[in-house]
Amino acid sequence: MNTRKFHLPGEAALLIVLLLNPLAIDLMSKSVFGISTISSVPLILSTAFPVFSFGTWNYIFQTLLVITLMVLKRSFCPGYLFSFVVGIGFGKMIDVHNTWVTLLPNVLSLNVVCFFTGFLLMCFGICLANNCLLPIVPTDIFPRDLSELLHKKYNQIKTTFDLTCLTTTVILSLVILHHLYGIGIGTFFCAFMTGRTVSLVQKFIGNHVEFYRLMKKEMVMPGKKMRHA
């Protein structure tokens, strides 16, 4: 049975990502359950070396991921240049949202809402980023392109990537701060559940949304190049 799909410009999808995903990171950071695994690395760096803000460290981390991808591909990818610009905007929006999110009251019920709202927003944003047909935030590019490069399922690469970030954060926390910082039960939840949740959301988006470029009038099936199943 054919169902009509909602047509969403990739440019609009990327804009939504730049608005929602930084908010998701700040909401999860605000909760007492621990930040997302990917953001845990720049968080610990911003705490240990406060010369740069959390948002700026996030951008530096993303830059290193893109450089790593180009080294693995053994080629310079011009499309990644725009992802640097997107990464800057992403980092700035983290600082913008942080100015008001930190003002929220620190109560358990609200912290629970903040964490799970942030988690779902993050997973939704990752799916939009993976399908927007534009250069995206480097932290989203890395697992997506690596899964294509290694011919592995996205959720497997994403989970491995998250666990690597978690391990890195634990090591940095113990070596530099001599105690765990920013890591909680929510961080471990993200490490094991983000890849699976993104795959579930991707199936829904793949069945109901079709992405296209405003500058190029061509339709592309979402998730066409990604192995989710």
pLDDT tens digits, 134-144: 877 788 788 88
> Distance between CA atoms of 63 and 61, rounded to whole angstroms?
5
Of 219, 212, 228, nearest to 147 (Cα)?
Answer: 228
* pLDDT averaged over every residue in the chain: 85
Q: Quick check: 38 and 165 in contact, CB under 8 A?
A: yes
In a domain, 70, yes or no: yes
Give the domain range for residue 10. Answer: 6-211
Within a domain: 47: yes
Asked if residue 219 is part of any domain, the answer here is: no
| CA separation for the pair 208, 198 (Å, rounded) | 15
Is position 55 within any domain? yes
- Number of folded domains in the chain? 1
Place of tokens 């500058």: 215
Where does the pLDDT of residue 216 fall: very low under 50, low under 70, confident under 90, or very high at 90 and above? low
Kindly state whether residue 145 falls inside one of the protein's structural domains.
yes
As given in the structure block, the two tokens for residue 39 are: 């953001």
3-state helix, strand, coil in the chain (%, to 5): 70, 5, 25
Does some domain include residue 224?
no
Integer Cα distance of 96 and 163 in angstroms: 28
Say if 191 falls within a structural domain: yes
pLDDT of res. 58: 81
Instruction: State pLDDT tens for residues 46-56.
Output: 988 988 888 78
In a domain, 228, yes or no: no
